[in-house]
A and B are shown apart, each in its own frame.
Chain A
Amino acid sequence: MASVKELRLRITSVGNIQQITRAMEMVATTKLRRFQDRAIASRPYTEEIAGLVSHLAGVLGDEVQDNPLFRKGAGSKTGVLLVTSDRGLCGAYNSNLFSDLEAWMSERESDDVDFFVYGKKGYSYLNGRGYNVERFIVDPPLESVDFGQAARTAQTLVEAFLSGDYADVYIYYTAFQSMVRYTPTTVQLLPLEAGGDEGEEQRGGDLILEPDAETIFESLIPRYLEVRVYNALLEALTSEYASRRMSMKNATDAASDMIKMLKGRYNRLRQENVTKDLLDIVGGAEALR
């Protein structure tokens, strides 16, 4: 049985931990809100770009197949952009992604997959497993990513795809569904799939296209890919912070429970000691009489 002093020390240290986890929870909440706001702010742009793409794809019809980004790549390898976190203490955020990835990888040869990684956690995981890391994107860190940097990452992937080493390129990230639900997700980035939104193609009737549909389409597609990468990164960040907030909240609650339990034990023990001391004093006084 722990002594009163030991119990008091434990209560203090658990209290300190609780303060830290509570602070981290609040930080995560603020950051979470910030990333959510950014995701919402990017929505009009995303929707417009996607609308234009489907419209132009409708105008061009089968001609979209002439664009190399719509055709399977010349190579045999698969490129994967893996989005993980730089820091831990975010619950099962990374390990969920990894176990999902593991299942995905079991269907293919690990030599045929090259990774482009965001986040230290992902990098050390892939290294430990002996997977090919083609590029570890550290500058800038994922957390301070802006559209320009996401665009550059997208361009890197497009370039890798066009260089002829890859058959296809995927993004592996955690999709944000709600504050308590975030699921590992794979989306195919390249080659693009034509004619996803057939129903939309004739909205707005005939459009004048300047200079012409092909030219616009050619400069539009890279923008579209940039937006998809940007959104995947933002969503991963949102999931990360939602997950971190949850696990920090759980830690804070667990600390509360623990303190309650320890306090109970501490008070009982203290009371026992007081009673024992009293009995000693009374006993001593009796003996002296």
Chain B
Amino acid sequence: MAGLTLRVITPERVILDEAVDSVGVTATDGGMGIFPKHAGMVTALEPGELTYKTSTGEQSLFVAGGFAEVRGDTVRVLTAAGEPWTEIDEERARQAEARARERLSMSRAAAKQDAVDMARARASLQRALARIRLHSRRSR
């Protein structure tokens, strides 16, 4: 009864192009479920989990923010990066977290000399935390 097509698109490649029953995304306003016959929609996403149900069960992906667009029976997710949760490199995420935290405390000491760096570090911290959270929740 797959009534939706889910396409997850990054600049490097199309990660996923599959017929699914439903999709769950992490929008900026919180979790959101998308079922067949959903109205046309565009929403901004937070770094976090993207789930989708197929006849074989529920799958989970990490997406690094971006946008979800529903048009007709197609859900398009545009994101800078993404991977199935099984491919999350927890070690790398932890390193990224440590790096981001260090940079944040440094810039705070240097009195916001570079607002861009701060924003970047914060975004990178957010991504790292979202990856770690998703990985530890799923691998339990």
- A44 in complex: contacting residue of B9, B29, B66, CB < 8 Å: B9
B44 touches A211 (CB 8 A): yes
Q: How far is the CB of A264 from chain B (nearest CB, A)?
A: 52
- The yes or no answer to B12 lying at the interface (CB within 8 A) is yes
Q: Is the CB of B10 within 8 A of A52?
A: no
User: Are A230 and B44 neighbours in the complex by a CB distance under 8 Å?
Assistant: no
Residues of chain A from 190 to 232 with CB closer than 8 A to chain B in the complex: 204-211, 215-216, 219-220, 223, 226-227, 230
- A225-266 residues with Cβ-Cβ distance < 8 A to B are 226-227, 230
Question: A207–B40 contact, CB under 8 A?
Answer: yes
For B71, list chain A residues within 8 Å (CB). Answer: 204, 207
Q: Is B27 an interface residue (CB 8 A)?
A: yes
Complex: chain B residue closest to A231, CB-CB: B11
Cβ of B41 and Cβ of A208 under 8 Å apart? yes
- The interface bits of chain B over 63-100 (1 if a CB of A lies within 8 angstroms of the residue's CB, else 0) are 00011010110001010110000000000000000000
Q: Which of B12, B13, B39, B44 is the one whose CB lies under 8 Å from A208? A: B39
Q: Mask for A35-47, Cβ within 8 A of B = 1, else 0? A: 0001001101110
A48 near B44 with CB under 8 A, answer no
A155, A204, A227: the one within 8 Å of B116 (CB): A155
A204 to chain B, nearest CB (A): 5
Give the chain B neighbours of A208 by CB distance below 8 A.
39-43
CA distance A209 to B39 in the complex (A): 11
Q: Does B106 contact A (CB under 8 A)?
A: no
- Give Cα distance in the complex from A215 to B13, angstroms: 26
Q: Kindly identify which residue among B27, B44, B69 contacts A219, using a CB–CB cutoff of 8 Å.
A: B44
B28 in the interface (beta carbon within 8 A): yes
A106-139 CB contact bits vs B (8 Å, 1 = yes)? 0000000000000000000000000000000000
Within 8 A of B (CB), among A15-55: 38, 41-42, 44-46, 48-49, 52, 55
Please state if B69 and A41 are interface contacts (CB–CB under 8 Å). no
- Is B2 close to A, CB under 8 A? no
Q: How far is the CA of A223 from the CA of B81 in the complex (A)?
A: 12
CB distance from A199 to the nearest CB of B (A): 17
Q: How far is the CA of A1 from the CA of B13 in the complex (A)?
A: 61
Residues on B with C-beta less than 8 A from A38 are 12
- Cβ contacts under 8 Å, B13 to chain A: 41
The answer to whether B41 touches A207 (Cβ under 8 A) is: yes
List the one stretch of A65-73, A89-97, A145-153, A166-174 in contact with chain B.
A145-153
Instruction: From B9, B43, B76, B81, give the contact of A210 (CB < 8 A).
Output: B43
Task: Give chain B residues whose Cβ lies under 8 Å from the Cβ of A219.
Answer: 44, 67
Contact of A147 among B10, B72, B76 (CB under 8 A): B10
Whether B9 contacts A147 by the Cβ 8 Å rule is no
Q: In this assembly, does A159 line the interface, its C-beta being within 8 Å of a C-beta of chain B?
A: yes
B29 to chain A, nearest CB (A): 6
A254 to B44, CA, bound (A): 57
B14 near A220: Cβ-Cβ < 8 Å = no
Nearest chain B CB to A12's CB is how many angstroms away?
46
**Interchain residue pairs A-B with the least CB separation, the first 4:** A210-B43, A208-B41, A147-B11, A207-B40
Q: Which residues of A contact B (CB under 8 A)?
A: 38, 41-42, 44-46, 48-49, 52, 55-56, 146-148, 151-152, 155-156, 159, 204-211, 215-216, 219-220, 223, 226-227, 230
Can you sample 22 A-B contacts with CB below 8 Å?
A38-B12, A41-B12, A42-B12, A44-B9, A52-B67, A146-B12, A147-B10, A147-B80, A151-B80, A204-B71, A205-B40, A208-B41, A209-B41, A209-B42, A210-B42, A210-B44, A211-B44, A215-B28, A216-B44, A223-B67, A223-B80, A227-B11
Known: A48-B9, A208-B39. 11 other contacts (CB 8 A): A42-B11, A44-B7, A48-B78, A52-B78, A55-B42, A151-B80, A159-B116, A207-B40, A207-B42, A216-B44, A223-B80
